[in-house]
Amino acid sequence: MQTQTLSLHHIIRAPKAQSENSPVLFMFHGYGSNEEDLFSFASELPDELFIISVRAPQDLMPYGHAWYAIHFDAEDGKWSDDAQAIQSRELIANFIDEACNAYKLDATNVTLLGFSQGAILSYAVALSYPEKVKNIIALSGYVNQSIITEDYKDKDYTNISFYCSHGSVDQVIPVDWARKTAPFLEALQIKHIYEEFPVGHGVAPQNFYSLLNWLKERI
């Protein structure tokens, strides 16, 4: 199957047994990376999934891409450009619909898999538009409430589930930020699992096997 030209650059892996209405998994990489990064997982994921790995819209110099800028300020330290993050949230939300239509996928069986900045955006999309997604795998990210729609507490989260994980010695996104995720999701009565692994800002093998088992039960 050929990759179509849509609003966000992406690469695809069609399911082994091609059919219309396949379940779909979208991949969203971290800051400074590209669509090839998480796509290296694709061969290990369930055969029935249609996989779409998306490139973030901002180009970084000399290479790599970002969903939003991260500024380094002497007084305030490191901070995120929330206005750009909200723009990317909307781009992703629209792209989900666009891709499901273009590739004739099952819009009721959508999984988001994000790492770092991609996980932060996956949280934002799912918590803002829970009707668009079913499963969210958020690796090494956290919930940034500033980039979720203001009415998120009024949403119906009955049909979504989160798999959240973090490295206990993450030097990029502090694990303390990630540990706020479970209480936040519990307060909204959202189904979730939160796990930590003894690694830095990355995905340990046991982390991958854990998320894979979680996913297989839900697609």
* pLDDT tens profile 93-133: 999 999 999 999 999 999 999 999 999 999 999 999 999 99
Domain membership flag for residue 4: no
pLDDT category of residue 48 using cuts at 50, 70 and 90: very high
Domain containing 66 equals 10-216
Spell out where 14-57 has E strands. 22-28, 50-54
Token pair 């499963």: residue: 135
The strand pairing partners of 25, in sequence order, are 51, 111
Domain membership flag for residue 148: yes
Q: Which residues, at least 6 apart from 101, have a Cβ–Cβ distance to it below 8 Å?
A: none
Domain membership flag for residue 89: yes
The strand pairing partners of 27, in sequence order, are 53, 113
Token pair 């003894």: residue: 198
Domain membership flag for residue 92: yes
How far apart CA 31 and CA 61 sit, in angstroms, is 12
Q: Which of 146, 117, 13 is nearest to 56 (CA)?
A: 117
How many domains does one find in the chain? 1
Distances (CA, A) of 101 to 93, 98, 156, 196: 13, 5, 24, 36
Describe the crossing of helices 82-102 and 117-128 by its angle, rounded to 10 degrees.
70
Domain membership flag for residue 188: yes
How far apart CA 215 and CA 180 sit, in angstroms, is 23
The strand pairing partners of 103, in sequence order, are none
Two tokens, residue 211: 């998320």
Domain membership flag for residue 187: yes
pLDDT surpassing 80 at residue 74? no
How far apart CA 195 and CA 187 sit, in angstroms, is 18
Q: What is the CATH number of the domain that holds 195?
A: 3.40.50.1820
Domain membership flag for residue 3: no
Domain membership flag for residue 2: no
Q: What is the pTM of this model?
A: 0.96
Average pLDDT estimate for 44-58? 96
Average pLDDT, the chain: 95
